[in-house]
Amino acid sequence: MMELKVLGERLRMIRKHLGINQQQLADATNLTQPAISRLEKGEEVYASTLLAVLSFYRDKVCIDNLLVKDFDTGQNTSLYSSRQETRQRLSQSLEEIAIGLDQTREQVEALRNSL
């Protein structure tokens, strides 16, 4: 399970990346600024506080990347990818796989025909 301090640091990075301060996030999530501060410091908070912040971020960043154990906060720009960008990359990867499979099928068929 991820440490609260690590999660808090990642949430702070997202907030700063989005260009909003703690009070703006608190207003957008119907929380208090001290609650946001405690969350970002990794202090114990109510689950509802964490859920409110994650809900706010869900369409702005790829939340899945927050939970990766070996996430490198200094290098990982995919954290800031939107869900749509992530879907597009996945779709492109799947298309590349399908093209590779078609080429493999053609090679197998050509090999069969040569026998």
For the chain, the structural domain boundaries read 1-81, 83-115
pTM of the entire predicted model: 0.60
pLDDT the model gives residue 100 = 74
Residues of the chain by 3-state class (helix, strand, coil), percent to 5? 75, 0, 25
Class of domain 1-81: mainly alpha
Per residue in 26-76, pLDDT tens? 999 999 999 999 999 999 888 899 889 988 988 777 777 676 655 554 544
Return the structure tokens found at 114: 């040569």
Percent of the chain's residues with pLDDT above 90: 23
Q: What number of CA atoms fall less than 13 Å from residue 19's CA on the CB side?
A: 0
